[in-house]
Amino acid sequence: MQNALAVSLIIAVLCPCIGVFLVLRRYAMIGDTLSHASLAGIAISLSVGGTPLVGAFLFTAACGALIEYLRAHIKNADLVLSVVLALCVGAAVTIMSTGRLGVSVEGFMFGSILTVTRGDTLLALGLCVASVVTLIALYDRLLFIAYDEEAAQIAGVRVRLFNYVFSILTAAAVSVAIRIVGVLVLSSMIALPVAAALQLGRGFKATLAFSVIFSVIDIMAGLFLSYYLNVAPGGFTALVSVAVLFIVIIGKNIVKAVKRGKQ
Amino acid sequence: MITAQGLYFSYTNSPPYALAGIELSINAGEYISVVGDNGSGKSTLMRLILGLLRPTRGTVETRAERIGYVPQRSDYARRDFPLTVGEMLRSYARIIKADAKAETAGVLALTGMQGHERSLVGDLSGGESQRTRLARALIGSPELLIFDEPSTGIDRGSQEEIYGLLRRLNRERGITIVSVEHNLTAAMANSTLIYHLHGGHGHSCTPEQYAEEFLKPGLKS
């Protein structure tokens, strides 16, 4: 449980930090595609006797780079994600169907606290620290690429290079998160805390901070409640995230109504 | 400052060309308005000058250490983006390695946007939004300012403020201005040179020559 808690906190910080840029670039569904890439990476890694998290990170990073490469040739972003999703699902299903994995991948599909080891925790911590340091170093450039890619390019930002770097960061977040929340609901962890924070109508830094706060609430509540209810943590965390989003929306409307009443 | 020679551009790398045989020379300190019908190639020419597109044939050379660019307002409509004016300006200043605090204060004062540092960019009115975008383009003291349609989507009062500011920047600070214009009255009143594009072909003339050739009597003044 200690390892699960530590990895959950890491995810709670990392996912919205990446998610805020993805959501604002209207690219939130990349999380869904990359979570399937992560599953394919785990399947490849297990089939050759490797560490699942390392396999997940390497294959997901490769798929992130492939998405960037295809974006230069296929203008429709949804189509790019569909192509890479087909590759990932195809690879994962093919490898799993060989029956050579030796372990069940169900834990990765739905998220499982019990599969988290101390080694996974340390690896996740390393990826998280590296990602957060990179995000801080590239903050202004990534912000401007998300806000106005053309202006960033004119200011001398090497947009394509930073897009590749960002896809590696996304891969890191996805590979770390898949252990707790699972493949099927991972994209919700990237998008929902950000969606709740956006309701508050603040600036970028405040939105980022609130995204992390909501993410911590979602994941911690999801983890503890799923443990006591004996249900999959990933699915329950997604339900908590949706509930928090609705609470924020309703709260915002109540505050608005009260303000209008006072005027 | 800007030279284009035998410039051809096609989005498919083959005919028909969006721009064909463009010859253009813009000296430092000019205020040039690029005019023409929709689809005549104005924005394509700007993107070539900015280096966002590569010529299919010919050359375009821009000799400026720093270029400020204000894109078309419709290209920029990110009203849902959670960003304050101050965050946007400081972030841009840091990217171009300018002094974020001093530059932000300077351009906000220059564009009359003091007091809006904490406003969300999506909450600004049309005129405020245009001045904020101009403020961003002025960070780092550019020698060349490229403005794609300064008057689009803003009221007459805001238009006058923007054009007044552009005139001051050109005459008092010597900033070369290239403006894509739909507003012919503004083009005639402010420009030292007009570049007229039609069907991908272009030619330079003075505002007076342009008025003689193309404008109805009411617009000639």
**CB contacts, 8 Å: A143 with chain B:** 83, 87, 91
- What residues are paired with B197 via a beta bridge? B36, B202
What is the number of alpha carbons within 13 Å of residue B208 lying toward its C-beta?
Answer: 0
**Nearest residue on chain B to A206, alpha-carbon basis:** B82
Interchain contact, A151 vs B120, CB within 8 Å:
no
Query: What type of residue is A45?
Result: S
Interchain contact, B82 vs A157, CB within 8 Å:
no
CATH architecture of A2-188: Orthogonal Bundle (1.10)
Residue B144: the pLDDT is 95
Interchain contact, B95 vs A204, CB within 8 Å:
no
Interchain contact, A198 vs B80, CB within 8 Å:
yes
Give the span between the Cα atoms of A244 and A198, in whole angstroms: 13
Residue A75: the pLDDT is 79
pLDDT (tens digit, 9 = 90+) per residue, B148-170?
Answer: 888 887 888 888 889 999 999 99
Other CB atoms within 10 Å distance of the CB of residue A133: 10
**Nearest residue on chain A to B78, alpha-carbon basis:** A147
Interchain contact, A154 vs B67, CB within 8 Å:
yes
Using the Cβ of A206 and the Cβ atoms of chain B, whether some distance falls under 8 Å is answered with yes
**CB contacts, 8 Å: B92 with chain A:** 140, 144, 151, 155
**Strand ranges in chain A using DSSP code E only, listed in sequence order:** none
Using the Cβ of A207 and the Cβ atoms of chain B, whether some distance falls under 8 Å is answered with yes
Interface predicted TM-score (ipTM): 0.82
Residue B221: the pLDDT is 45
Given a cut of 70, the residues of chain B with pLDDT beneath it are 73-77, 216-221
Given a cut of 70, the residues of chain A with pLDDT beneath it are 1, 111, 113-115
**Nearest residue on chain A to B96, alpha-carbon basis:** A155
- What residues are paired with B70 via a beta bridge? B147
- CA dihedral (B195, B200, B201, B206) in degrees, to 10, reads -10
Interchain contact, B120 vs A147, CB within 8 Å:
no
Interchain contact, B120 vs A201, CB within 8 Å:
yes
**CB contacts, 8 Å: A159 with chain B:** none
Residue B77: the pLDDT is 56
Interchain contact, A154 vs B92, CB within 8 Å:
no
Residue A183: the pLDDT is 78
Q: Which of B87, B138, B148 to mutate to test the interface with A (most CBs of A within 10 A)?
A: B87
Is residue B181 within 8 Å of B34, Cβ to Cβ?
A: yes
